[in-house]
Structure 1
Amino acid sequence: MSLKWKNQGENRDNDFLDMVFATATSFIFFMGIAVVATVISLIR
């Protein structure tokens, strides 16, 4: 995906979108882990 975007000459916009998407994905991922850990600790 990134290679196609770079070939179109839209480096800055798409690199920024990739960074935002990666940041949001990792943030949601870690938040999910934190929620699961909290629920497990509450159940026990």
Structure 2
Amino acid sequence: MVVGKMVTRTKKIFVGGLSAPTTLEDVKNYFEQFGPYAKKYD
């Protein structure tokens, strides 16, 4: 008997290669079109 296992999917992305004047606010504003912003990782 095979018991199903839960799969945890993370929703992390790496955004690199941005120009120097790009701010966290700029990135948040762009990505909000895809869903809510959750957390920033340094």
TM, length-normalised to structure 2 = 0.27
> Which structure's residues are more often helix, by fraction?
1
- Which structure would you say has the larger RCO, counting Cα contacts within 8 Å and 6 or more residues apart? 1
TM, length-normalised to structure 1 = 0.27
Is the radius of gyration larger for structure 1 or structure 2?
1
